[in-house]
């Protein structure tokens, strides 16, 4: 389960965030490409934009539920 205390600084402020458990699997970036991106120097994903539409919200929720290491939180 994602821990807000361990979230990456790159995450934009808002509900969703990625913490330091991320293994850079690319699932969130494929599932919600408008909302997640990769930090190349660190080798992890982070939230670049909070969802603004019902479709983006659904994609972020799907990414959170599919994350293999539960690195995505939704209480930011």
Q: Are 67 and 28 in contact (CB under 8 A)?
A: yes
Percent of the chain with pLDDT over 90: 99
DSSP category for residue 59: H
Domain of residue 68 covers: 4-73
pLDDT at 20: 98
What is the average pLDDT score of the chain? 97
Mean pLDDT of 51-65: 98
Phi-psi region of 3 (alpha: psi -120 to 50; beta: other; left: phi over 0): beta
d(C-alpha 7, C-alpha 75), whole Å: 11
In the chain, the number of structural domains is 1
What is the CA 27 to chain-centroid distance, rounded? 10
């Amino acid at each position: 389960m994602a821990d807000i205390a361990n979230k990456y600084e790159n995450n934009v402020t808002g509900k969703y965030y990625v913490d330091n458990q991320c293994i850079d699997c690319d699932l969130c970036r494929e599932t919600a490409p408008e909302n997640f991106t990769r930090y190349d120097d660190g080798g992890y994903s982070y939230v670049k934009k909070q969802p603004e539409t019902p479709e983006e919200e659904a994609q972020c929720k799907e990414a959170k539920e599919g994350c293999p290491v539960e690195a995505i939180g939704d209480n930011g």
